[in-house]
Chain A
Amino acid sequence: MTSNNKRPIYMDYQATTPVDPRVFDEMKPYFMEKFGNAHSRTHLYGWEAEEAVEKARQQVADLIGAGSKEIIFTSGATESNNLALKGLAGFYGDKKKHIITVNTEHKCVLDSCRYLEREGFDVTYMHVQKNGLIDLEELKKALREDTLVVSVMTVNNEIGVIQPIKEIGAICRERSIFFHTDAAQAFGKIPLNVEDMNIDLMSISGHKIYGPKGVGALYVRRRPRVRLEAQINGGGQERGFRSGTLPTPLIVGLGKAAEIAGKEMQAENERLHYLSDKLYKGLTDNIPEVYLNGDAEHRIPGNLNLSFAYIEGESMLMAIRELAVSSGSACTSASLEPSYVLRALGVGDDLAHTSIRFGIGRFTTEEEVERAIEIVKNNVEKLRELSPLWDMAQEGIDINSIEWAHH
C-alpha cells in the first residue's frame, strides 16, 4: 500500500490551480479592512474598493493587449462563455441565426449552443483533425451569410492543444463575423493579443492561473463595437453587461494573478517545457505502447494527455493513487461515456478508456516529476499482467478483429 498519511502529488493543473501566495497576500486587505462596495460613490470605503477593481481591470487588460474598459468581470469562464454566446444571440439574433463552434469545446460552450439551438439558432459543430486542431479550410466552408459568431477555444482543457487563433480571427474579421474564444486554459499561459488575433470576445478564468475560484472575465471589444444582451439584470454594473456587486477580493486576486503570469510567462514556460519533456520521455522511453493525445507541437507544456494501451484508466488511477491526475475513462465520468474530446480526435474508444491527463504547473517540482515516472512505470507492468487485452496483443491478436458483445 502507498502511504496514506501523505497527500498525493498534485498533477491536475487543468482542473484548477492553488492560489499563488503573492495573490493571496494582495487579496487579504479586501476581506476585512477595505471591504467596501466598489459601487459606493459617497465614501472612502467605496472609493478604495473601486480603485482596486480598476487596477485589476487594467492588469487583466494588459495581458491581452486590450483596454481596461473592455474587461467585464464575471464569476468565471463558464459565465463568460454563456454571456458571450447568449448575449450575442440575444442582441443580433433577429438577423443572424448561425453559430459555428467545435465539438471539442468545453461543455459550457457546447451546452450554451444546445440551448440556442432550442431557441431557433442553427449551430455547426466543426470536427477536429486527428491532432485535435480544426481545419481552416473547413471553417471557411462552414461560414454563411447569416453566421453570427465563430467560437473556438484557444487551448483545449483535456489535451492542451492550441488552435490557430490568429488565423481564425483573420478569417472572421474579413467577413465581419464575431470571433469568440474561450481562453480559460490559455490566458496567462501563452501570449495573447486581441488586436493581432482579431478577437472580439474572450473568456477568462481566475482559478486556472493561480488566482481564486469564483472569478473570471469577459473581454468585449469596443472598436468595432460588440453588443451583448445582459444575462443577469440588476443595477447595471459592468457597463450594463453584468449586474451584481463586484467581489473585490476575488477581482484583486485575478488582477494580481494576471500580472504575475505576464511577468513570469516566459520563464515559467521554459521550466514547464523542461519538466513536461522529462515526464514524456521518462514515460515513453520506459513503457511500450504509450500514445500522446493531441498535436505534439501545438500544445501548452503543462498538459500531457497520454493513453496507456490495454490499461483501463480508472484502474490506473487507483494504482497511481499517489498522483492526483485525471482520466478520460468512462468509469471516471458521470455519464459512463469515455471522453468526447478524445473520441472527436478519432481515438478509439478502447484507447480513450486508457487515457491519463498529467497536468503540471507553477508548483510542480522536478522531484515530483521523477517520482511520477517511477510510480507509473512500476504499476504499468502489473496492470498489463492483469490485462487480457495485453495478452492478446502479445500473441499478435488484433483486438479489433474480435467480435465483442457490447453491453
Chain B
Amino acid sequence: MAYSDKVLDHYENPRNVGKLDEKDSTVGTGLVGAPACGDVMKLQIKVNDQGVIEDAKFKTFGCGSAIASSSLATEWIKGRSLDEAASIKNVEIAQHLSLPPVKIHCSMLAEDAIKAAVEDYRSKKQGEEKQKVSA
C-alpha cells in the first residue's frame, strides 16, 4: 500500500511523542483501542486554568496511519479549548491525511482518544469540585 506524504511525514517525524503525569489533576488521559485489534492509542492533554489545552502527548501501538492520526490529533488540539478539541471529527483527520477507506478506523480511534482524554480531565475536575464543596 502506498502512503500519502502526510502520513509518511507524521510517521517519520511524529509530533508530541511522550507522556504526561497521569496523576496530575490538570492532565487528562485517554487510552483507546485494544492490543488484540492491532491498535492502542494513549493520548494525554494538559489543561490550563482558562480551560485551554496547553500541551498534548501521545503514544500509539498501531499501523502507520494510526500513528499519523494520533500525531496529527495532538498537533490540532494544542491551544484549543476542551469543547473545540472534543468537536474534532474523524473525517477531518482522515481527509487531512488522505487515509484510504480501510484506514478510516485509525482516524476514528484518534477522535475517540481525544474525547476520552477530555472526558478523563473533566471527571477529574468534577471530583475536585465535589471535594471542595464537601470540605
Interface of A toward B, CB cutoff 8 Å: 1, 310-315, 318, 329-331, 336, 338, 348-350, 353, 385-391, 399, 404-407
B14, chain A: closest CB distance, angstroms: 6
Give the interface segment out of B39-47, B48-56, B74-82, B123-131: B39-47
A350 touching B35 by the CB < 8 A rule? yes
Find chain B residues with CB under 8 A from A389 CB: 35, 40, 61
**Chain B interface residue count: which class?**
20 to 34
Q: What is the CB-to-nearest-CB distance from A375 to chain B, in angstroms, rounded to a whole number?
A: 15
Q: Are B37's CB and A315's CB within 8 A?
A: no
Min Cβ gap A83→B in Å is 34
B contact residues around A318 at 8 Å (CB) = 3, 11, 63-64
The answer to whether B60 touches A314, judged by C-beta atoms less than 8 angstroms apart, is no
Complex CA gap A315/B105 in Å reads 15
Contacts of A350 in B (CB 8 A): 35-36
When distances are taken between beta carbons in the complex, the residues of chain B under 8 Å from A353 are 35-36, 38
| Closest beta carbon of chain B to A193's beta carbon, Å | 42
- Selected from B3, B36, B42, B59, the residue in CB contact (under 8 A) with A404 is B36
Q: Which of these, A310, A336, A338, A349, contacts B61 with CB under 8 Å?
A: A310
Of A329, A336, A386, which contacts B14 at CB under 8 A? A386
Pair A407/B63 contact, Cβ less than 8 Å? no
Nearest Cβ distance between residue A321 and chain B, in whole angstroms? Answer: 10
Task: Summarize B's interface: helix, strand, loop or mixed.
Answer: mixed
The verdict on B83 contacting chain A, using a C-beta distance below 8 Å, is no
In the complex, 11 of the A-B residue pairs with CB atoms within 8 angstroms, ordered by the A residue number, are: A314-B38, A315-B67, A329-B38, A329-B63, A330-B38, A338-B38, A349-B35, A349-B37, A387-B60, A388-B42, A399-B35
* Chain B residues in 8 Å Cβ range of A348: 36
Further pairs besides A315-B63, A386-B17, A405-B33: 11, Cβ < 8 Å:
A310-B61, A312-B61, A312-B62, A312-B66, A314-B38, A331-B38, A387-B60, A388-B59, A404-B33, A404-B40, A406-B36
The A-contacting residues of B in range 1-21, CB under 8 angstroms, are 3, 11-12, 14, 17, 19
Q: How far is the CA of A388 from the CA of B42 in the complex (A)?
A: 6
Give the complex CA separation of A385 and B3 in angstroms.
Answer: 22
